[in-house]
Amino acid sequence: MKKVLLNVEDSTIEAFLAGISICPSVSVMSIADDAAVMSVSDLRMAQAVRTLQQNGALRRTYDYAWLMAAINDGVVKIKGMGTFKSPQSFIDYLQRIGLGRVAGRTTISVAYGQVFGKFPDWQFIDTQDLHEILRRKNVVKQLISALNKG
């Protein structure tokens, strides 16, 4: 079964619903205003981040900074998604796609300033611990994997 997202003008919704009602293999899953509908890219990102939350990859609140860094550096490529001008814009985006409370602006800002270089050769100002460096890079790898599965 395939799921299809359609835009239907308000003035024609009744006729549209009547038309599809004659087809028993088609069912309406939901109806929402434009403001409540997310793009496929946003849905994929929300599901991918939820996967990371559930599997424990986002162990620390500052781990969201690695996601922002990967998106801003073009490591994570999602159709229609640009870069984030600030940690607050990233937090606003995560909340808009339904992820609720994630990390604070200051937490992301400080951590984002600790990473330099190009992924996967990122280096971190705040640690030289190879296990921690690998863990941080794996957060991004897991995001990419979750996005590819979605």
Cα gap 71→97, rounded to integer Å: 16
Predicted pLDDT of residue 36: 57
Average pLDDT over residues 63-89: 93
**Does 137 reside within a domain?**
yes
Mean pLDDT for all residues in the chain: 88
| Total number of domains in the chain | 1
**Does 28 reside within a domain?**
no
Structural domain harbouring 96: 40-149
Cis peptide bond prior to 87, omega within 30° of 0: no
Using CA atoms, how far residue 4 sits from 26, 28, 48, 109, in Å, is: 10, 10, 20, 38
The pLDDT-based confidence of 32 (bands split at 50, 70, 90) is low
Give the count of alpha carbons within 13 A of 55, CB side only: 13
The angle subtended at Cα 81 by Cα 84 and Cα 66, nearest 5°, is 50
**Does 8 reside within a domain?**
no
**Does 130 reside within a domain?**
yes
Average pLDDT over residues 39-45: 88
**Does 7 reside within a domain?**
no
